[in-house]
A and B are shown apart, each in its own frame.
Chain A
Amino acid sequence: NAGVTQTPKFQVLKTGQSMTLQCAQDMNHEYMSWYRQDPGMGLRLIHYSVGAGITDQGEVPNGYNVSRSTTEDFPLRLLSAAPSQTSVYFCASTLSWDTEAFFGQGTRLTVV
């Protein structure tokens, strides 16, 4: 099925651990982005990419790394997890700036 696939759906980490959230889309979209959703704060942009090999920081990039080696995949890496990174993470993709956005199902991350 076409769409945006995020894995895992749930994850519990200990402070200081690292992990990678996976995001893949099969729609040949150039634009992909990562958001975090926190209660009372709405969705905030972490990092985004406008094509393979091109990434940039969003509003809240600290503690996260991204890379875009292929059009399909846009993984988000937590380098050293902190309790402040407890959140729900969403990956999104769009064909271009003026088209509909597609979101993944989200990853609920808890850092203890």
Chain B
Amino acid sequence: KNEVEQSPQNLTAQEGEFITINCSYSVGISALHWLQQHPGGGIVSLFMLSSGKKKHGRLIATINIQEKHSSLHITASHPRDSAVYICAVRNNYGQNFVFGPGTRLSVLP
């Protein structure tokens, strides 16, 4: 069983739809990160969470430490949101990430 799992693996949405991507993990963590990777592009950090909820523009990230689960929400999705979204965790006091497999999102106009 992978330490970090994501669902769905692939997601196609129409512009304007509300999108949810889920991440579950099986290890104790110090922080959870949501990353974005556009096709052929680099990786950009969206959020770092250790508890609660964070919001940046149309993106919202939540984490439930007890349930070992995090969600990334995109409100009013846009074609420019099309990318792979990656959940990554750091073990307690660990330097390195354990990555989920990614969720490929396509938002159609």
Contact = CB atoms under 8 A, between A and B. Distances in A.
Contact of A42 (B31, B90, B100): B100
Given A90-B43, A103-B43, A106-B42, A97 B93 contact: yes
A30 to B, nearest CB: 9
B52 to A, nearest CB: 15
B24 to A, nearest CB: 15
In this complex, the interface size class of chain B, counting residues with CB under 8 Å from chain A, is 20 to 34
Task: Give the interface SS of chain A, mostly helix, strand, loop or mixed.
Answer: strand
Contacts of A43: 86, 88, 97, 99
B66 interface: no
Interface residues of A, number: 25
Contact of B101 (A42, A48, A58, A100): A42
Interface in A15-29: none
A48 B96 contact: yes
Contacts of A76: none
B1 to A, nearest CB: 14
A74 interface: no
A101 B30 CA distance: 14
Given A43-B99, A101-B33, A103-B43, 8 more contacts: A43-B86, A43-B97, A90-B42, A90-B43, A97-B95, A103-B44, A106-B41, A106-B42
Interface of B: 30-31, 33, 35, 41-45, 48, 50, 86, 88, 90, 93-97, 99-102
11 contacts: A42-B86, A42-B100, A43-B88, A45-B96, A58-B96, A90-B42, A97-B95, A98-B31, A98-B50, A100-B33, A105-B41
